[in-house]
Amino acid sequence: MAVIDLYDLRASLLSDEHFTRTILFRLATFYLLWKAVATTYSVFFGPLSKFPGPRMAATTQWYRTYIELVKNVSMSTKLKELHEQYGPVVRIGPNELHFSSPTAYNAIYQQKFDKEPILYKSFGEDESSFGYLSVKEAKPRKDLLNPLFSRRETIRMQGLVQEKVDKLCKNMVKRYEEGKSCNMLMALRCAAMDVITTFCFAKSVDSLDEPDFEAPIIIAMESTLPSFLLFRHFPLIRWLVFSLPPWLTMVTAPKMKGLLDLQKMLSGQIAEVKADPSVLEKTPHRTIYHPLLQEANVSAKSLYEEGQAMLFAGTDTVSNTVMLAIFHILENPAIHKRLQEELIEFWPDLNTTPRYEELEKLPYLNAVIKESLRHTPAVAAGLLRIVGPESANIDGYEVPQGTVISMAILFMHMNKTIFRHGEKFVPEAWLEPGAKELESKLVPFSKGPRMCLGQNLAYCELYLMFANIFRRFDLTLDGTVASDLEWRECFLPWYYKRHIHCYTKPRTA
């Protein structure tokens, strides 16, 4: 009897197992068939089928993963190739288009389209002015912060920027006196980081005090940049990495120390201001917390993410712009000479310090800064937007609602019908009679409702950094060549080769 029972049991288990397997097999077959039909429809008959592009891109999202992670090619480099082959609009994903013609730029970015979630959520700054996906959520936050980043406030706070630039110069002198060249990328990053932490939190992380500009926070930011690509394509990995307890992160990735220290500093400060907002009365100047605490029920998470967004948005962008320009200026002795002569004439006595508003009036310095902003891929990636709530006409094409669209800034800035000198660094272009027209095509800070919040501060930093570096020093390159400046697109550019090094000989008069 017992034997029969066992036999029956085994048979019924087997048949259950068989049943489950059959169901699973059928479901999988059904899913694959459905996927094949849906993909075929989307590629050949769907609303985006009329747009040209590689067949593989129209078929699967993995096309981009393949380009970026397997072939190790920046998407912007691939896009250049694709636009040459297919024209001003290319289908680069099953649901994604990229545009390249200057008229498309405003049509995309002046509208109130949402940011695309997969890209923007990969930064872990969902509740910040940068990370909110909709204009509806971002606008009230930006309205609160705008007065702090207004031109008037930046002019009032310029002493704070000058103080960091002075410290940068002092350390550049020290380095020269030690007979060493200076890693300008690290030096400028430290300066920009100290500006932004002082400006936003009234608490500098003092990266400029670190020997040889090797500040842990800058090293940590530099080492997280390439992981952005992995996180974007595999969000689960990002989640796993960021869920690790700090001690484990320190063991597995010691380069992250600076970021962990910063997280600790910011979290501590936020806990303090949340517990007792009156501590803000004691800060030497207004910080981002002053306006943000006016937001009803603002969470500690949101305060933290806003702080982090400011650091990432305001450090590499500024420092890369100055760093790349230094290289081009030093490569072109005529530009270097003209810039220095203008600065010496305007600023004869090195014991004085000119103000930002005065420096803005110098025509050649002005032209150099515009050309630097044009030339630097400060934000290299296409800023993805989702067409909605209805379909939209972009550059003469009817684009269906829900389509992901973008136009990377460098397609505007390197367009030879507008900027005839293309990839050459030519400040003179901004002094020619037709230059006013070029200004509307200069979009380093993007356009429309999601344009950069920090552009006034950025301009103040750029003027003070350029003026002080080229007036106070005779710079020469230490072996840096153009190929050292190659970069990979990781939303921001990642300069993965030997950084630019300069000998920084101080001028005495």
| Contact between 176 and ligand HEM per CB under 6 A | no
| Contact between 188 and ligand HEM per CB under 6 A | no
195/204 Cα distance (integer angstroms): 7
**Run of H or E residues at 115:** strand 114-115
Closest residue to bound ligand HEM by CB? 454
| Contact between 108 and ligand HEM per CB under 6 A | no
The answer to whether 193 and 207 are in contact (CB under 8 A) is: yes
Tell me the CA distances in angstroms from 417 to 186, 219, 358, 407, 498, one per residue in order: 35, 39, 33, 17, 33
| Contact between 288 and ligand HEM per CB under 6 A | no
Q: Which stretch binds ligand HEM (CB under 6 A): 76-84, 157-165, 336-344, 450-458?
A: 450-458
Q: How far is the CB of 238 from ligand HEM (least distance, A)?
A: 18
Among 307, 454, 464, 472, binds ligand HEM (CB under 6 A): 454
Residue 452 among known ligand-binding residues? yes
Among 106, 129, 162, 204, binds ligand HEM (CB under 6 A): 129
Position of tokens 């949101």? 302
- Chain residues 140-169 in contact with ligand HEM, contact rule CB under 6 A: 142
Among 104, 187, 256, 310, binds ligand HEM (CB under 6 A): 310
DSSP secondary structure code for residue 111 in this structure: S
| Contact between 466 and ligand HEM per CB under 6 A | no
| Contact between 463 and ligand HEM per CB under 6 A | no
Q: Which stretch binds ligand HEM (CB under 6 A): 28-36, 340-348, 375-383, 394-402?
A: 375-383
DSSP secondary structure code for residue 294 in this structure: T
Q: How far is the CB of 446 from ligand HEM (least distance, A)?
A: 4
293-325 in b/e burial notation, b at 16+ Cβ within 10 A? eeeeebeeebbbbbbbbbbbbbbbbbbbbbbbb
Residue (115 or 336) nearer to ligand HEM, CB: 115
- Chain residues 316-335 in contact with ligand HEM, contact rule CB under 6 A: 317-318, 321
- Chain residues 376-435 in contact with ligand HEM, contact rule CB under 6 A: 378-379, 383
| Contact between 465 and ligand HEM per CB under 6 A | no
Q: How far is the CB of 325 from ligand HEM (least distance, A)?
A: 11
Among 444, 465, 470, 504, binds ligand HEM (CB under 6 A): 444
- Please, which residues have CB within 8 angstroms of residue 230's CB and are 6 or more apart in sequence? 69, 237, 238
Residue (309 or 326) nearer to ligand HEM, CB: 309
Pairing verdict, β 492-495 and 487-490: antiparallel
| Contact between 107 and ligand HEM per CB under 6 A | no
Among 83, 246, 446, 506, binds ligand HEM (CB under 6 A): 446
The residue type of 136 is K
Residue (136 or 170) nearer to ligand HEM, CB: 136
DSSP secondary structure code for residue 298 in this structure: -
One-letter-per-residue 3-state SS of 354-390: CCHHHHCCCHHHHHHHHHHHHHCCCCCCCCCEECCCC
The residue type of 200 is C
233/388 Cα distance (integer angstroms): 24
The answer to whether 497 and 480 are in contact (CB under 8 A) is: no
| Contact between 190 and ligand HEM per CB under 6 A | no
Q: How far is the CB of 111 from ligand HEM (least distance, A)?
A: 12
The answer to whether 499 and 230 are in contact (CB under 8 A) is: no
Residue (43 or 266) nearer to ligand HEM, CB: 266
Sheet containing 182-183, strands listed edge to edge, beginning at the edge strand earlier in sequence: 182-183, 501-506, 473-477
- Please, which residues have CB within 8 angstroms of residue 406's CB and are 6 or more apart in sequence? 96, 98, 99, 108, 382, 383, 384, 385
Among 191, 313, 335, 500, binds ligand HEM (CB under 6 A): 313
Q: How far is the CB of 245 from ligand HEM (least distance, A)?
A: 29
| Contact between 202 and ligand HEM per CB under 6 A | no
What number of chain residues touch ligand HEM (CB under 6 A)? 23
Residue (88 or 314) nearer to ligand HEM, CB: 314
Nearest to 468 by CA among 32, 162, 127, 254: 162
Among 144, 215, 270, 309, binds ligand HEM (CB under 6 A): 309
Tell me the CA distances in angstroms from 299 to 265, 279, 389, one per residue in order: 17, 17, 29
The residue type of 335 is I
The answer to whether 288 and 145 are in contact (CB under 8 A) is: yes
Residue (89 or 378) nearer to ligand HEM, CB: 378
Among 216, 314, 377, 427, binds ligand HEM (CB under 6 A): 314
Among 63, 105, 113, 130, binds ligand HEM (CB under 6 A): 130
| Contact between 457 and ligand HEM per CB under 6 A | yes
Q: How far is the CB of 318 from ligand HEM (least distance, A)?
A: 5
Reading phi first (left if > 0) and then psi (alpha if -120 to 50, else beta), residue 274 is in alpha
- One-character DSSP codes across 140-188: HHHHHHGGGGSHHHHHHTHHHHHHHHHHHHHHHHHHHHTT--EEHHHHH
Residue (310 or 414) nearer to ligand HEM, CB: 310
Show binding-site residues for heme: 452
Show binding-site residues: 452
Q: List residues near ligand HEM by CB under 6 A.
A: 129-130, 138, 142, 309-310, 313-314, 317-318, 321, 378-379, 383, 444-446, 450, 452-454, 457-458
